[in-house]
Amino acid sequence: MRKIKYLLILTSIMLLPSFSQPIFAQENDFIKEYLERLEKSKEYLILVAEIMPEDKYEFKATAESMSFSENLMHIGWAMDWHSQSLMGGREARDWNTDTELKVDNKSKKEMIAKISETFDKTIEFISSFDPMRLEERLDYFGADRTKRQILLLLADHITHHRGQMLVYMRLNGLKPPRYVLYQ
């Protein structure tokens, strides 16, 4: 009986890594694929921001809408909050006092530089994020979500606001850049 227990324990110890390894590989693949998508998203958003003339940055489709520039900087704010605060545990920026990721009299050039920098910081954060932590859960506006879901929500959020910016370009008679796959 003792020999059987010993063999069961030994077999379990030997087999355990074979079950966890595929899961870890999938998590690493998710991070790798997500980063590729985020890099493409950065390229496309910056291209959109560069094409829109600076004198159209305050354009709004309706009075209650965000302007082109507000959508651009809101994307940066969301990247910072989702990655650094939600996933990284850093205290969130105070929307009322922090102006780093707001339009706040920034020029087009300054906004593009800030959004590029924010993408880079987000990419750096996700690159070093422990893939085993993707299954950690947190409260997201009352919904129980994994950190993997937070990354997916962030990608959707970027796309949502960039889509508004593309419409603003059309409303101003500009042709948006050709859609880039996988972003």
Contact 158, 42 (CB under 8 A): no
3-state secondary structure 131-161: HHHHHCEEEECCEEEEHHHHHHHHHHHHHHH
82 is in an annotated binding site: no
Cα–Cα distance, 183 to 166 (Å, whole number): 15
Q: Read off the tokens for 70.
A: 């507000």
160 is in an annotated binding site: no
Residue 107 burial (C-beta neighbours within 10 Å; 0-12, 13-18, 19+): exposed
Q: Read off the tokens for 125.
A: 């954060």
* Residues flagged as binding site for a divalent metal cation: 74, 157, 161
* Residues flagged as binding site: 74, 157, 161
